[in-house]
Chains A and B, each alone.
Chain A
Amino acid sequence: MAMSPFFTLLRRDMTLALREGGAIGTALGFYLIVIAMLPLGLGPDLNLLSRIAPGLLWIALLLSALLSLGRMFETDHEDGSLELLAIGGTPLELVAAAKALAHWLTTGIPLALLAPLLGILLNLDLSAYGVLVLTMLVGTPAISFLGAIGAALTLRARRGGLLLALLILPLYVPTLIYGIQAISGALLAGQSFWPSFLILSALSLGSLVLGPLAAAAALRIQLQ
């Protein structure tokens, strides 16, 4: 069955991520351990934890997703396949988009699905589970696609991992703010869920465009 280069690449990257196992497992494990450490630092006050749980879950998710971003182009750059992809017929923008999408499917979605489970540890209100997962599923594409920019920019930098976090975390501010606002909008009386949720969706859709364009520009500069 003939497949377009985009889907071939997507399937290849997902297969690699799943077979290696390490990447997804590490991100999920990191997410779990960060959330488990928080009550140790903040104290076991269940009322406090349940009040700040959505924010903690979102921030820890950002950090966990950051961990695996650095690998997005690195392995392909090391073994030279990135150069082959660059001189192939597929535009580099599509290559970057396929890799970012693979990152979202193998990291963003698993993390978002793990979040409610971790919510139990933080005494998250039961009524918040659905909206928490929904905002995370809608918001995480921005993490992967904006993250692709950082991964491409730091490909040949020293201390790439730390640098990536410094470059990319400020770009996640709007996603974080509207993700949290949508959740509190759904939970608190007198606030509405939809405006924040729609802005969150718009941010993700915008990042689908900006991410691959900027990442491809950064890759092209380095592969010249």
Chain B
Amino acid sequence: MTNQSITQKLANPTRFMSLSGAILPWLAGLAVAVIVFGLYRGWTAPPDYQQGETIRIMYIHVPAAWLGMMGYALVAFSSFGLLVFRHPLADVSAKAAAPIGAAFTLLALITGSLWGKPMWGTYWVWDARLTSVLMLFFLYLGLMALRSSIEEETLAAKLTAVLALVGVIILPFIKISVEGLSIPWLGLEIPAWNTLHQPSSVFRSDGPKIHPSQLYPLLYCALGFTLLFFALHMKGMRNEILRRRVKALRIAEVDRARAAEAAAPAE
């Protein structure tokens, strides 16, 4: 027992249910508190000197875009766990993460287009970063469509996992082909397909290029939405485990009824 890792310990769904049941209310409460605080700080932060009040969209848009990408990474990680380690909860995790990641990706697209209207004059432009987020959304749709179109659940789980791993291999190529790539010290410079979007202003080698009065609310919001993501993910996993139990109980019920019918003397 002592040399079991945490993931091995959680492999027992019953243990996962009791542990997550204890954690979930705290996680969800903390997520709400941090989001409310972050949004309040965002609301009271000074408007941007160029973008004005529309900068406040960023406090939702940027965390949503991060979580959309993180969600796909989580799906791929869980898929790897399913195919390689056959971890019993891996598919539950992958299945629960996909719709949540897709929802955050969609939120990033919607908030992006709402921001684009006053800034670029149109709801949708074929900007490189918008396009690559749209492609990420399509990959999510593919995962969910494949899963829903295969009747047998274990088969659907494994095939969806293969698709998720193929997607995670190809995703960087999609991203680079659309957004371009620049690695100065290698002398590598791949131009972007088309861009209007401002480059990332938080993760930069020369430090964040965003004023602290805007950076801190953004970080609080990012933390809050990340907590929300994991709370939703945990809830989704619990639902999925319960759904599978109900299904197993129903099948057992039907089997019992059939057995009783067969055992009963014919009239």
Contacts and interface: CB of A to CB of B under 8 A. Distances in A.
A218 B162 contact: yes
Interface in B157-199: 158-159, 162-163, 165-167, 169-170, 173-174, 176-178, 190, 193
A123 B149 CA distance: 42
B178 A173 contact: yes
A171 B149 contact: no
B158 to A, nearest CB: 5
B135 A158 contact: no
Chain A interface, DSSP helix/strand/loop, else mixed: helix
Nearest to A149: B166
B202 interface: no
B155 A156 contact: yes
Contact of A153 (B146, B169, B174, B177): B146
A17 interface: no
Contacts of A156: 150, 155
A222 interface: yes
B193 A177 contact: yes
Contacts of A195: 190
Interface residues of A, number: 30
Chain B interface, DSSP helix/strand/loop, else mixed: helix
Contacts of B177: 173-174, 177-178, 199
Nearest to A217: B162
A173 B162 contact: no
B81 interface: no
Contacts of B178: 173, 177
A154 B146 contact: yes
Given A156-B155, A159-B149, 10 more contacts: A146-B170, A153-B163, A158-B149, A167-B163, A171-B170, A206-B173, A210-B169, A217-B83, A218-B159, A221-B159
Interface of A: 146, 149, 153-154, 156-160, 163, 166-167, 169-171, 173-174, 177-178, 181, 195, 199, 203, 206, 210, 214, 217-218, 221-222
